[in-house]
Homo-oligomer: A and B are copies of this chain.
Amino acid sequence: MSETHDTTGDAPYYERHIFFCLNERERGEDSCALHGAKEGFDHCKKRVKAEGLAGRGGVRVNKAGCLDRCAGGPVAVVYPEGVWYTFVDEQDIDEIVESHLKNGQPVERLKLAPDVGR
């Protein structure tokens, strides 16, 4: 873990990086984890791998802690676009993978409303 600093260009390491809030609060408080976040993450990871999109230069499906937009949970965010999603089921995830992660077209119907916060 040394000699690892950049001396060259700035090509993105991942073309797209999606982060799923998997936060689970203590004392039974509401959280993304209680609304299928882990299931969405697992399904997304599986689909991205099956589509051959996973890895460097492609797509990374990532666990994240609280993204602080809990009122819209379960939530995920795709960078570099900064598109936020709220999802319900595997079909929603399939659409995000196929349309956005694979083809660069955000899924309008699943976007989180801009005023949704904690």
A63, B19: Cα distance in complex, Å: 10
Q: How many copies does the complex hold?
A: 2
A113 lies within 8 A of chain B by Cβ:
yes
A14, B4: Cα distance in complex, Å: 28
Residues on B with beta carbons closer than 8 Å to the beta carbon of A81: 80
Do the beta carbons of A62 and B19 come within 8 Å of each other? yes
Do the beta carbons of B79 and A82 come within 8 Å of each other? yes
Least distance between A6 CB and chain B CB atoms (Å): 3
Which one of B4, B35, B77, B109 lies within 8 Å of A17 (CB-CB)? B77
Do the beta carbons of A82 and B80 come within 8 Å of each other? yes
A101, B27: Cα distance in complex, Å: 33
